[in-house]
Amino acid sequence: MKVFINGKECEAKQGQTVLQAARDNGVYIPSLCYHPKTGPAGKCRVCVVEVEGMRGLQTSCTVPVKENMKITTNSETVRKAQRLVVDLLLSSGKHDCLACEQNGACELQDAAYMLGIEHPTFSLADTKTDIDDSAEFVYREHAKCIQCGRCIAGCNTTVVNEVLDFGMRGHDTKVICDIDLPMGKSSCVQCGECSQLCPTGSIIDKKTRGKGRHWQFKTVNTTCAYCGVGCQLTLHVDQAANKIVQVTGREVVPNDGMLCVKGRYAYEFPSSENRLKYPMIKKNGEHVRVSWEEALDYTASRIKEIVEKNGPDVFSAFGSGRITNENNYAIQKFTRAVVGTNNVDHCART
Amino acid sequence: MTNSIQELQDAKVIFVIGSDTTEAHPVISYFMKRAVKRGATLIVNDPRKIDLTKWAALHVQHKVGTDIAYINGLINEIFKNGWAREQYLKDCTENPDAIREAVKDYPVEKASEICGVPVETMKKVAKILGEAESASVCYTLGITEHICGTDNVKTLANLQMVLGNIGKYAAGLNPLRGQNNVQGACDMGALPNVFHNYQPVDNPAASEKMAKAWGVPSLPTKPGYKMPTMLRKALDGGTKILYCVGDNTVQTEPNMAHTIKELQALEFFVVCDIFPNLTTPYADVILPDTSWGEEDGTFTNSERRVQRTRRAVNPPGEARSHWWVMQELAKRLGKDLGFTSGNAVWEDMRKTATSYAGITWDRIENIGLQWPCPTLEHPGTAFLHRDGKFTRGKGLFSVTKWIPQAEPPDEEYPIVLSTGRRLWHYHSATQTRNSEGFDNIFGEELLEISPVDALKMDVKTGDLVKATSRRGSIILKAWVTERSAPGVAWCSFHFAESCGNVLTIDRFDTVTETAEYKACAIKIEKIGDGEPLGDGILRQARP
């Protein structure tokens, strides 16, 4: 259907909200409580716009588009309202960007930048720092929370782990785990969905703290190393250190950005000091480092010698459910076409 | 899986059996729980009170290893009440009368006696399944890791065919595959009886086709040995060389002491892996492989979706991709395999695999494709056997009979031990224990014991116990929890220092040679008082 955004004719789909249609057409409306996965909430009121024929300002995340709707996202009235909302949010917590982990990856910062807010005009509210450092992988800082509710919606309706909720009232309102337990003592299974959904630096990945700025990391899309779901994820890599420093879920099939504790947080093993790094041959009962040349020559000659003497069926190979398709194919081709036996199998039976 | 993962959130009924989904496939469990929020009925069938039961309308706690009796009882009840989809049976299956007759041996009353599920509960489950518009069956190793694993699966297939649930959206028969690429390893022909794309090695046409494609005069046509046979034959000289890639055999095969004997009997043992583990000490040669995150390639997930995996960091030392190792070894044995890159290997495979023929690395740059995908224009296949049109033609019922576990409990070994995985670790834990923080949450194995048994043995959570089977013993702390049913204990095989596979039995399903990891007999002795465990560990047992 046809809509007009800031006087420009745009294409929108039936059932879309004004915010979604604007985003699809490249028009930025600051928004904080809306996330495609958790849906419209209509809480933060940052995404207000004017719609011709509708009274007052409308939250664009909750208003569905209609044919020929005329939407204004950049009038002074709109900007004034947006500025006030963001100004109040900035004043109500400790949103100091300098040392914040999410600097450069923060939706509140983006909104303030876009609206040109350098300093909050109100005096800062007395918000307690209230850090929850009790969990192994997820770090929470209440003073950076804007109570958008995305973490709570994510925990309860996206991954349905049902741990987070709002607790207390009024000025004391905060995100709590179970019956307001520290996260590390609650029933939280550390899937990290809340951290991925948090628009500010209030819920972050603890192990990534202090590892560098987001823009310094190279990102690589890949498939998870653990179970058979095959979750799609993005690796954030510190190239100088040759280390993966963070994992986030990609919002595509099959996992829609959701991960489990292993997929999101068990990523350091490739750079572990314990890795096997060099070929080794057992000499006098001890494994001794050798060159690839020596290891390959020795292995090939032993295979040749034993198979020539006993026939190819004394050779058996294990492929693996842990390695790539290409490597498994290579192993079956080697076993069948080079050694000449069908004795190839893998751990599907275990 | 016949169906796709995300379809689960639209399912009307989800029947989970032998799958500790929240721990072993957490992301799939999210979709199941979402379905519950949308009004689906979740039935969890498990001898253990697993976490998923908190979202279930019904938890059916059948006894370990009685799946066939239980399911056949349900099918009997479904026929009896006229819930079977007669039109589907007529149009889409070959021998419906065979199953109709066979389940007459399992009236619910008799099935109930075997499986320990009250008759009323069985009737309730049959009614939910029978009256549902569609139902999805999800299972994992709790079904396959029994001496009757193959028959367990066939019985579930029977159930789904009787209900007309194969070939439908948000239904089907869905094994949740345990490893990131166990589906792919099968598809790629790392199996003794088939080439990649399941072309039988003993089919002369397939064998000739592959010999020509690979440029060899001929290929062996006798199917090879399955893994347990390979190992067993080490003891009588039938296997002299074992070339083992990415498999911590000592820790993951049943009856660890026996596995070690088999490996020691080999003449030449090559281990290619990323970490030293319990298996590497027995190797004559150790080759360092690249790890996940260090090479370009593909994995195929549980729903048959082929997805890219990419190099993000440089491998340590001299670790290499395994296709390179195969290329180099083949060269020394007088054959050029033609492998110059991961993508070259893929293309070599793709041209002789019809299901994979339409999948190139380029096409799956952003989002994976589900096989069968026979042409470059094909969109991939979300679910198999659409509209009950089975790949083989018509659906075939296999008659199954319940048999008891290989090693039932007795006076000396009165407890049934079942094994599995925990959320916090993965398999032999080389990856999770070499990542930061996981040992802080769950750093040692615990033996889960029912409060009923614990009371008898005067054991409380945190006490040190010795678990002994006919094959060995391990010492670990006890976790007294209602997750375990009376008479059943449970532990994982993640921890080298107290691994469940010291105890498990090396008795196998006759068809697949999958071992009965889920049932062996043990005895438990208390050997010392212990401190209560920290909150972190018990977090899994949610309030």
* Segments making up each domain of chain A, as ranges: 2-91, 124-271, 311-346
Q: Give the residue from chain B lying closest to A241, CA to CA.
A: B313
* Contact call for A319 and B297, based on CB within 8 A: no
Q: Is the pLDDT of residue B460 over 80?
A: yes
Cis link prior to B372 (omega < 30° from 0)?
yes
Give the pLDDT confidence score for residue B539 in this predicted structure.
59
Sheet holding B13-17, edge to edge: B58-60, B41-45, B13-17, B135-139, B173-175
Selected for mutation to probe chain A from B253, B299, B369 (highest A CB count within 10 Å) is B299
Spatial distance between the Cα atoms of B251 and B228, rounded to a whole number of angstroms: 14
Q: Is the ipTM of this complex over 0.95?
A: yes
E strand map for B397-471: 415-420, 446-449, 464-469
In 3D space, the residue among A318, A321, A100 whose CA is nearest the CA of residue B185 turns out to be: A321
Q: Is B268 on the interface with A (CB under 8 A)?
A: yes
Residue B506 C-beta-side C-alpha neighbours within 13 Å: 20
Give the pLDDT confidence score for residue B538 in this predicted structure.
57
Confidence class for position B542, pLDDT limits 50, 70, 90: very low
Give the pLDDT confidence score for residue A2 in this predicted structure.
96
Pick one of 3.20.20.80, 1.10.150.20, 3.40.80.10, 3.30.70.20 as the CATH number of A124-271. Answer: 3.30.70.20
Spatial distance between the Cα atoms of A335 and A303, rounded to a whole number of angstroms: 11
Q: What is the DSSP string of A267-281?
A: --GGG-TTS--S-EE
Decide: B284 and B263 in contact? Cβ < 8 Å. Answer: no
Is residue B236 classed exposed, middle or buried when 0-12, 13-18 and 19+ CB atoms within 10 A define those classes? exposed
Decide: B305 and A230 in contact? Cβ < 8 Å. Answer: yes
Query: C-alpha angle A119/A123/A129, rounded to 5°?
Result: 90
Q: Is B275 on the interface with A (CB under 8 A)?
A: yes
Measured between beta carbons, the chain B residues lying within 8 angstroms of A285 are none
Measured between beta carbons, the chain B residues lying within 8 angstroms of A337 are 214, 216, 219, 335, 337
Query: Which of B27, B178, B220 is nearest residue A340 as measured by Cβ atoms?
Result: B220
Q: Is B176 on the interface with A (CB under 8 A)?
A: yes
Cross-strand bridge partners of residue B521: B416
Overall average pLDDT of the B191-206 stretch = 98
The amino acid present at A129, given as its one-letter code, is T
Q: Give the residue from chain A lying closest to B240, CA to CA.
A: A314
Query: C-alpha angle B402/B407/B413, rounded to 5°?
Result: 135
pTM assigned to the model: 0.97
Overall average pLDDT of the B182-191 stretch = 97
In 3D space, the residue among B523, B518, B406, B447 whose CA is nearest the CA of residue B64 turns out to be: B518
Spatial distance between the Cα atoms of A228 and A348, rounded to a whole number of angstroms: 12
Overall average pLDDT of the B360-389 stretch = 96
* Contact call for A325 and B181, based on CB within 8 A: yes
Q: Is the pLDDT of residue B182 over 90?
A: yes
Our measurement of the distance from residue B47's CA atom to the centroid of its chain's CA atoms, rounded to an integer in Å, reads: 17
* Contact call for B313 and A237, based on CB within 8 A: yes
| B370 backbone dihedrals φ, ψ, rounded to 5° | -100, 125
Q: Is B516 on the interface with A (CB under 8 A)?
A: no
Angle between helices B322-332 and A325-333 (to 10 degrees): 20
Selected for mutation to probe chain B from A38, A227, A231 (highest B CB count within 10 Å) is A227
* Contact call for B423 and A189, based on CB within 8 A: yes
Q: Give the residue from chain A lying closest to B4, CA to CA.
A: A254
Measured between beta carbons, the chain B residues lying within 8 angstroms of A308 are none
* Contact call for A337 and B283, based on CB within 8 A: no
Spatial distance between the Cα atoms of B518 and B420, rounded to a whole number of angstroms: 8
Q: For residue B38, how many other CB atoms are within 10 A of its CB?
A: 11
Give the pLDDT confidence score for residue A349 in this predicted structure.
79
Q: How does the average pLDDT of chain B come out, rounded? A: 96
Query: Which of B322, B346, B425 is nearest residue A323 as measured by Cβ atoms?
Result: B322
The amino acid present at A283, given as its one-letter code, is K
Our CA-based measurement puts residue B264 at a distance from the nearest CA of chain A, in whole angstroms, of 13
Give the pLDDT confidence score for residue A147 in this predicted structure.
94
* Contact call for A336 and B299, based on CB within 8 A: no
State pLDDT tens for residues B414-429: 999 999 999 999 999 9
State pLDDT tens for residues B310-366: 999 999 999 999 999 999 999 999 999 999 999 999 999 999 999 999 999 999 999
Cross-strand bridge partners of residue A248: A234
Q: Which two tokens stand for residue B237?
A: 């000289």
In 3D space, the residue among A203, A207, A185 whose CA is nearest the CA of residue A194 turns out to be: A203
Our measurement of the distance from residue B151's CA atom to the centroid of its chain's CA atoms, rounded to an integer in Å, reads: 15
Q: Which two tokens stand for residue B299?
A: 């994995």
Spatial distance between the Cα atoms of B418 and B491, rounded to a whole number of angstroms: 7
Q: Is B289 on the interface with A (CB under 8 A)?
A: yes
Per-residue pLDDT of chain A (350 residues; tens, 9 = 90+): 999 999 999 999 999 999 999 999 999 999 999 999 999 999 999 999 999 999 999 999 999 999 999 999 999 999 999 999 999 999 988 898 998 999 999 999 999 999 999 888 887 776 777 899 999 999 999 999 999 999 999 999 999 999 999 999 988 899 999 999 999 999 999 999 999 999 999 999 999 999 999 999 999 999 999 999 999 999 999 999 999 999 999 999 999 999 999 999 999 999 999 999 999 999 999 999 999 999 999 999 999 999 999 999 999 999 999 999 999 999 999 999 999 999 999 988 77
* Contact call for A207 and B368, based on CB within 8 A: no
Chain B window 16-45: which residues touch A at a Cβ cutoff of 8 Å?
A: 22, 24-28, 30, 33-34, 36-37
Our CA-based measurement puts residue B107 at a distance from the nearest CA of chain A, in whole angstroms, of 32
Query: Which of B247, B438, B543 is nearest residue A187 as measured by Cβ atoms?
Result: B543
CATH architecture of residue range(s) A2-91: Roll (3.10)
Q: Is the pLDDT of residue B185 over 90?
A: yes
Query: Which of A191, A270, A333 is nearest residue B293 as measured by Cβ atoms?
Result: A270
Decide: B85 and B162 in contact? Cβ < 8 Å. Answer: yes
Give the pLDDT confidence score for residue B535 in this predicted structure.
61
**Those residues with Cβ within 8 angstroms of residue B217's Cβ, 6 or more apart along the chain or in another chain:** B211
Give the pLDDT confidence score for residue B543 in this predicted structure.
36
SS3 of B247, please?
coil
Overall average pLDDT of the B438-463 stretch = 95
Q: Give the residue from chain A lying closest to B325, CA to CA.
A: A296
Q: Is B81 on the interface with A (CB under 8 A)?
A: no
Give the pLDDT confidence score for residue A129 in this predicted structure.
76
State pLDDT tens for residues B235-284: 999 999 999 999 999 999 999 999 999 999 999 999 999 999 999 999 99
In this structure, the strands spanning A58-59 and A48-51 are antiparallel
Angle between helices B119-131 and B67-80 (to 10 degrees): 60
* Contact call for A267 and B293, based on CB within 8 A: yes
Overall average pLDDT of the B140-169 stretch = 97
Spatial distance between the Cα atoms of B506 and A349, rounded to a whole number of angstroms: 12
Query: Which of A274, A303, A328 is nearest residue B333 as measured by Cβ atoms?
Result: A303
* Contact call for B435 and A260, based on CB within 8 A: no
Cis link prior to B47 (omega < 30° from 0)?
no
SS3 of B59, please?
strand
Spatial distance between the Cα atoms of B119 and B461, rounded to a whole number of angstroms: 34
* Contact call for A324 and B426, based on CB within 8 A: no
Spatial distance between the Cα atoms of B252 and B517, rounded to a whole number of angstroms: 10
Q: How many residues in total does chain A contain?
A: 350
Measured between beta carbons, the chain B residues lying within 8 angstroms of A325 are 181, 184-185, 187-188, 297-300, 306, 346, 349
SS3 of A187, please?
coil
Sheet holding A344-345, edge to edge: A286-289, A280-283, B285-288, B268-273, B241-245, A315-318, A344-345
In this structure, the strands spanning B41-45 and B58-60 are parallel
Give the pLDDT confidence score for residue B534 in this predicted structure.
67
State pLDDT tens for residues B472-514: 999 999 999 999 999 999 999 999 999 999 999 999 999 999 9
SS (H, E, C) A36-82: CCCECCCCCCCCEEEECCCCCCEECCCCECCCCCEEECCCHHHHHHH
Structural domains in chain B plus CATH codes: 5-175 (3.40.228.10), 182-375 (3.40.50.740), 415-538 (2.40.40.20)
